[in-house]
Structure 1
Amino acid sequence: MSANSPGLLIIERILRDRGSIWQQIVEERDLNRLTGQMLASSAVALALYGAVLGFFNGALMALTSAVKLPLLFLVTLAICLPTLYLFNLVFGARLSMKQSVSLVMVAITVISMLAVAFAPISLFFLITAPDYGFFKLLNVSILALSALVGLRFLTGGMRVLAEHGLLSPARPEPAVSQPAIAPAQVTEEKVPVTVGAPAANGDGAAAPAAAPAPPVLVAHAPAPGQRVWDPMQGRYVKTPGVATERPASMTLLHVWILLFGFVGTQLAWTLRPFFGNPDSPFALFREIEGNFYAEIFRTIAGL
């Protein structure tokens, strides 16, 4: 089954053939469909995992958590995406808004699918060890681990875009553009031969002139830093020897990831409850007080 087969789940394509995902984003090809698939898959996966979280307090809390968890990720994306896009524009990157959305949606899709993969484990501890503090810390750890893996996909995708020059300002094309060559290019060079006067042979007749020398095949190695085709990776890579400057967008990406994490955790605190404290009555939202990190420390101290 090919990577573009309609029967292949989008998460399976991301994990098995992420190179084709990055190439599609680089070429800005059919990104509306790709983003729509990732959005639908993420919403369903997060809704299922949110339902598991809310079951600690009952069916009504499970229903509200199934709605609030996808909303948490989508609102966080809506808040932070303009910052990422403007960061790239300020430092000369040539990413479009569609490319930025698709790139971040790859990370969110991986996060949501990993979270729903942990849902049976979370449900197991919910049934066998229904302790509120432990259950809360367990699921916060699951979401944190899933987020770390998903954000690694995001940085990996940005590196691919950097290799294609999309994170650096456009450079003027040279007067004569040289096509990419293979790791070694074979050219023909004719060796000049000096032909003198014909020498006489034994019977006094003139000897025939020497035949021209055949062309000599000379292999030229690619210059350091030149882009050549790597058949193992299936893409163009730069030859070693010249240190490439790291785009400023890659540094700002890590800053943006921290920003995304802080916004997401504070928004989660604002949209709580997700688990539903059994000692408190059902409520769609709680009063905003304290912060997410102080609550985690209190939970750890209370175990």
Structure 2
Amino acid sequence: MANASGLLVIERILRDRQGIWQQVVEDRALSKLTGQMLLSSVVALACYGAVLGSFHSILMALTSAVKLPLLFLVTLAICLPTLYLFNLVFGARLSVRQSVALVMVALTVTAMLAVAFAPIALFFLITAPDYSFFKLLNVAILALSALVGLRFLTGGMRVLNDHGLLAPEKKETPAPAPAPAAAPAPEPAFVGAVNGATTPAAAPAPAAAPAVITVADLPPGYMVTRAPAQPFPRPLPARQPAPPSMTLLYVWILLFGFVGTQLAWTLRPFFGSPGMKFSLYRDIDGNFYAEIFRTLSHLF
């Protein structure tokens, strides 16, 4: 499984995610891993893009197969430098390869989950070819796939945080001088029990006149037992606060979403309105969110 290549890299990500994170932590063979994830993501997004464009025509399916991978990769190229610089500003020790591999894991999961929904989208395309419904269905599929992919991203960042890669490297401080040896602790006191009742033993005699008490010296009915040791209370471990890099990760995710939706609006059409002729691009007017609300009002 560790040598999975091409499209099979998603199986390794899903089955052995701890191995993937460990490889990112060790910065080991990340160029090959990133290339495998890039190949699988482009193929999966191209297949799903063809499903989107098939609502209009074969020509639209071909152009959407090119534009959907382009959408994700250009968004990644725009936003990745921001994530890397955020980490550098707050002392994270991630390399460029580690940052790219980490984000590519999320993109690969998103792409492969989206293409797994392709048969469902095709089913509704054949049985209920309504443009507004088909558009909202696929927007929901892509949004759900992106949320799952981003969950992988945050999980990977937490693993890197556990290995100390999101915090500045700590300088070693000299060890403190050893404390003087303490005097040996006295033997535990003995308690006596008469008819089931326990009484504390008498205080030990002064060191100048030691006295040794044996079992034979005790009156009948006494039972000698060792005093139970008191457990030493252990302090609860202090909960480590999240580093600034984790907080900025959520800000970066919002930024990635805004850039991606605006770029998707710029690269439209992906579906192709049934009453319009084929066109590679449309005029830039309005925005993605206004179009979604308008589609919802037409549908309901």
Which of residues 240, 244, 249 is equivalent to 1:244?
240
Q: TM-score, normalised by structure 2?
A: 0.78
Q: 5 Å matches for 1:85-164?
A: 85-164=84-163
SS state at 2:282 partner? coil
Question: Kindly tell me: are residues 245 and 272 of structure 1, through their superposed partners in 2, closer, same or farther at Cα, counting changes over 3 Å?
Answer: same
Letter in 2 for 1:80: C
Q: Which residue of 2 aligns with 1:29?
A: 28
C-alpha distance in structure 2 between counterparts of 1:7 and 1:297, whole Å: 39
Over 3 Å off, 4+ runs = 2-8
C-alpha distance in structure 2 between counterparts of 1:9 and 1:116, whole Å: 14
Give the structure with higher Rg (CA): 2
C-alpha distance in structure 2 between counterparts of 1:251 and 1:32, whole Å: 27
Q: What CA deviation, in whole Å up to 9, does each residue of 1:176-195 have, x standing for no partner?
A: 6xxxxxxxxxxxxxx99xxx
Q: Which residue of 2 aligns with 1:54?
A: 53
C-alpha distance in structure 1 between counterparts of 2:253 and 2:134, whole Å: 26
Q: What CA deviation, in whole Å up to 9, does each residue of 1:145-181 have, x standing for no partner?
A: 00000000000000000000100011012446xxxxx
Using the TM superposition, give the Cα deviation of residue 8 of structure 1 relative to its aligned residue in structure 2, in angstroms: 8.4
Using the TM superposition, give the Cα deviation of residue 241 of structure 1 relative to its aligned residue in structure 2, in angstroms: 1.1
C-alpha distance in structure 1 between counterparts of 2:5 and 2:71, whole Å: 29
Q: What CA deviation, in whole Å up to 9, does each residue of 1:204-254 have, x standing for no partner?
A: xxxxxxxxxxxxxxxxx9x87xxxxxxxxxxxxxxx611212100000000
Letter in 1 for 2:123: F
C-alpha distance in structure 2 between counterparts of 1:29 and 1:82, whole Å: 21
Q: Which residue of 2 aligns with 1:43?
A: 42
Q: TM-score, normalised by structure 1?
A: 0.78
Q: Which residue of 2 aligns with 1:263?
A: 259
Using the TM superposition, give the Cα deviation of residue 4 of structure 1 relative to its aligned residue in structure 2, in angstroms: 3.5
Q: Which residue of 2 aligns with 1:281?
A: 277
Q: Which residue of 2 aligns with 1:208?
A: none
SS state at 1:24 partner? helix
C-alpha distance in structure 2 between counterparts of 1:5 and 1:59, whole Å: 33
C-alpha distance in structure 2 between counterparts of 1:149 and 1:76, whole Å: 18
Q: Which residue of 2 aligns with 1:75?
A: 74
C-alpha distance in structure 1 between counterparts of 2:259 and 2:109, whole Å: 19
SS state at 1:143 partner? helix
Q: Which residue of 1 aligns with 2:202?
A: none
Is residue 7–residue 36 contact of structure 2 (8 Å, CA) maintained in 1?
no
Measured on the aligned residues, the alpha-carbon RMSD in Å equals: 1.8
Question: How many percent identity over aligned positions?
Answer: 75
Letter in 1 for 2:12: R
C-alpha distance in structure 2 between counterparts of 1:262 and 1:157, whole Å: 22
C-alpha distance in structure 2 between counterparts of 1:266 and 1:19, whole Å: 34
C-alpha distance in structure 2 between counterparts of 1:10 and 1:130, whole Å: 34
Question: Kindly tell me: are residues 110 and 7 of structure 1, through their superposed partners in 2, closer, same or farther at Cα, counting changes over 3 Å?
Answer: closer
Structure 1: gaps spanning 5 or more residues: 177-190, 193-220, 225-239
Q: Which residue of 2 aligns with 1:296?
A: 292
C-alpha distance in structure 2 between counterparts of 1:278 and 1:7, whole Å: 36
Question: Kindly tell me: are residues 83 and 166 of structure 1, through their superposed partners in 2, closer, same or farther at Cα, counting changes over 3 Å?
Answer: same
C-alpha distance in structure 2 between counterparts of 1:42 and 1:32, whole Å: 15
Q: Which residue of 2 aligns with 1:254?
A: 250
Letter in 2 for 1:161: L
